[in-house]
Amino acid sequence: MARKIAFKTLGCRLNQYETDSVTSDFINAGYEIVNFSEEADAYVVNTCTVTNMSDHKSRQTYNQVYRRNPDAVLVVTGCMANNHKEDLESNNRITYTIKNDRKGSIFNLLDSHFKGEIISPDQLKADRFGFGAAEKSIRTRSMIKIQDGCNNFCTFCIVPHVRGRAESRPYSEIEKNIKHALEFGYKEIVLTGVNIGRYERDGLNFEDIVGKVLEIPGYFRVRISSIEPEGFGDKLFNLFQNPKLTPHLHLCLQSGSEKILLAMRRQYSVDDFRIMVSKILNRIPDFNFTTDIMVGFPGETESEFRETCKVAEEIGFSHIHTFKYSVRKGTRAERMPNQVQEKVKTERSLIIRDIAENNKKKYRSSFIGKTQKVLVEKIDKTGFAKGYGEHYFPVRFKADELTQTKDFKLVRVNGLLDDQDFTVTAKPV
Amino acid sequence: MEVTINTIFTVQGVRHLTDSTYIVRLDRKGMMFVPGQNLNIGLAGDPEKRDYSIYSSLEDNFLDILVKEVDDGLVSKKLKKLKPGDSIEVDGPFGFFTIKDEDISTKKFLFIASGTGIGPFHSIALSYPELNYKLIHGVRNRNETYEKDHYPAGCYIGCLSKDKKGEFRGRVTDYLRQNPVDPDTLCYLCGNVNMIYDAFDILKEQGVPSGNLHAEVYF
Ligand SMILES: Cc1cc2nc3c(=O)[nH]c(=O)nc-3n(C[C@H](O)[C@H](O)[C@H](O)COP(=O)(O)OP(=O)(O)OC[C@H]3O[C@@H](n4cnc5c(N)ncnc54)[C@H](O)[C@@H]3O)c2cc1C
Ligand code: SF4
């Protein structure tokens, strides 16, 4: 009988991409992938350490697994394995602690383990790009890792410490990965990494890479995942006029206060951000901007927070991922005075949440009567299909004769559901 | 560019410019960098590390950093006690506070520094002698106008807030208000966040577009 493996991913898309790729290694070798709540021979927890909350959730996840199934092999990987390696290695509930650069070898480690050969994680090959395209059955869109690490050292951020220094993947490997994904039948490619705007390799920058990826023949579209507002300009904005590149960016603002941005050591000003947005909107007026906002950065005053609210309303981000600042050991912000009270952070994040909801409703309503090319993710038992249009918001429509998922369907938007997410409703065209 | 990680460098010496400010000289070990970049430095084996801008020029076969000892500071106090032959751990170079090759001979630059924020400008000015620039340096007293004779005549303007014997009496922000900046100038600001923030406001009021403003915040 096939061995069973279960995966749990916390944190960012890059982590998800890496889990998908490792999962594919197991599928291809005949292992059975089961839900994380089910009984398995091995559990792999791909952790996150970006906030206190992520540490807490990661710990909770592997402790729960151990309590439920103490005999199973427990692998803990991801950013927590980099940030708290010694703690995890001394925890005898955890069988293997695997740092990010060896994550791509988890299949070799576990496969050998089940064959009776115990490999020390340090013997595994370190390769931050040792990940293949995900097997088709796993996702609707294929993430492609083009870059890892970050040298920006924003003062609040632990990522450069846990993901390491910036490194870009050679274009030939990116292209190979994408062609593989297209062969698997993927219709949407998501370019991902830690700080992809800073891609730099063999004389190519991020804009060059996007341009080259768009030239790869095939019926597919390209999405840019989360990106810092730096390292690109008009060349990228012009590429958005190519219908193959989806009109959506998750452009991380973090704060709308110039002073806080300086203290965060971000590489742009609020004005730079506004200019970028307006340049894109001049080309594509219904472009979808989503963002990350951090509230309660040390020293953030009420009026600086209000500046952020103002920018969030003015730009109209249709989705805002709000973070409450939390101290990360070893970062510069850890040593900053005027840490903001937890209660104030919570109040501020609720205010941002309200703004985000209003923005979302307004933005999505503006699509009523317009078409969306939906990449169908699933068709539920009640006969409704769900997926994301090119602008990247969820769309639901009656499937009728449609039976196939993971392909495009052109629909016309006719309303919004009153659910939490303001899901857009539509009719096939 | 190759980035050095946890590499041991040897200290050549420490030169004291004032009671609290000093220059640490290290072997360069062939390190490539772009003037304006910084290194992450700590004593060998000590997990506490801090960022310091490279002060020396591209031509030098050593690496200098200009450090101010901070009251109650952890690392700046330790670095002050380094002796020739001591080992320190270096990561880097890092940072984007650099100037573009194509701007070197075509653009006009304004460098604005507070305290040891002059570090990257020293490296830039000495590495690109043909550069058309003015350096405005905000400090309290004349003894903090670190090595001002290294800059060509007329390029360095010390703004002394507590001393009459300088090129300008007052803060850099006072200087900027009294000497409006041509909006085509590329402005680079380095040092304390409050100074940078206030100067940004003045420069923007004077019509300098945000694309021409670059900042490196020390604290
Ligand atoms: C990119 C970058 C480059 C830097 N380059 C230099 C450099 O070339 N020379 C240099 O001296 N410093 C530089 N710094 C600051 C340096 O990294 C340390 O913060 C500084 O030396 C204090 O470290 P510490 O461990 O002694 O004090 P800590 O124990 O870290 O902090 C003590 C307090 O001192 C304050 N502080 C930090 N720097 C200063 C300062 N220069 N003057 C007054 N108060 C300060 C901080 O707000 C902090 O609250 C740079 C910082 C950055 C981010
Ligand atoms: S750009 Fe800043 S926030 Fe983003 S990963 Fe790098 S250091 Fe962290």
Q: What is the DSSP letter of A122?
A: G
Architecture of domain A4-123: 3-Layer(aba) Sandwich (3.40)
Residue B177 and residue A424: Cα distance in Å, rounded?
53
Instruction: Pick the closest to residue A190 from A236, A221, A216, A217 (CA basis).
Output: A221
Instruction: Pick the closest to residue A86 from A77, A102, A95, A97 (CA basis).
Output: A97
- pLDDT surpassing 90 at residue B124: yes
pLDDT digits (tens, 9 = 90+) for B195-206: 999 999 999 999
Give residue limits of the domains in chain A: 4-123, 142-365, 371-428
Q: Which residues, other chains included, contact A232 with Cβ-Cβ below 8 Å and sequence gap of 6+? A: A197, A205, A206, A207
pLDDT at A42: 97
Q: Are B217 and A265 in contact (CB under 8 A)?
A: yes
Neighbour-count burial of A10, counting CB atoms closer than 10 A to its CB (0-12 exposed, 13-18 middle, 19+ buried)? buried
- pLDDT surpassing 90 at residue B21: yes
Which of the ligands is closest to the CA of residue A149? 2
Domains in chain B, CATH or no CATH each: 4-94 (2.40.30.10), 101-218 (3.40.50.80)
Task: Please state the rounded mean pLDDT for residues B100-129.
Answer: 97
Architecture of domain A371-428: Beta Barrel (2.40)
Instruction: Pick the closest to residue A151 from A80, A228, A224 (CA basis).
Output: A228
Quick check: A275 and B211 CB within 8 A?
Answer: yes
pLDDT digits (tens, 9 = 90+) for A90-118: 999 999 999 999 999 999 999 999 999 99
Q: Are A163 and A194 in contact (CB under 8 A)?
A: yes
- pLDDT surpassing 90 at residue B4: no
Residue A391 and residue A395: Cα distance in Å, rounded?
10
Residue A216 and residue A222: Cα distance in Å, rounded?
11
Q: Which residues of A touch B95 (CB under 8 A)?
A: 151
The percent of residues above 70 in pLDDT, for chain B, comes to: 100
Nearest CB neighbour to B215, from listed A153, A165, A262: A262
3-class secondary-structure state, position B130: coil
Kindly report the pTM of this predicted structure.
0.93
pLDDT at A136: 78
DSSP letters along A43-54, please? EEEEE--SSHHH
Q: What is the DSSP letter of B180?
A: P
Residue A312 and residue A290: Cα distance in Å, rounded?
10
pLDDT at A152: 94
Q: Which residues, other chains included, contact A355 with Cβ-Cβ below 8 Å and sequence gap of 6+? A: A309, A312, A313, A320
Instruction: Pick the closest to residue A349 from A404, A305, A399 (CA basis).
Output: A305
CA angle, B76 as apex, B24 and B52 as ends, to 5°? 60
Nearest CB neighbour to B217, from listed A165, A263, A330: A263
Distance A155 CA to ligand 2 centre (A): 9
pLDDT at A83: 93
Peptide bond into A160 cis (omega under 30): no
Regions of chain A with pLDDT less than 70: none
Distance A270 CA to ligand 2 centre (A): 17
Question: How far, CA to CA in Å, does A89 sit from each of A19, A64, A75, A428?
Answer: 21, 18, 11, 53
- The two three-digit tokens of residue B21, written as one number: 């400010």
Nearest CA in chain A to B47: A330
CA angle, B194 as apex, B191 and B197 as ends, to 5°? 95
pLDDT at A139: 86
Measured in residues, chain A has a length of 429
Whether residue A34 lies within 8 A of chain B, CB to CB, comes out as no
Please state which CATH class domain A142-365 belongs to.
Answer: alpha beta
pLDDT digits (tens, 9 = 90+) for B141-194: 999 999 999 999 999 999 999 999 999 999 999 999 999 999 999 999 999 999
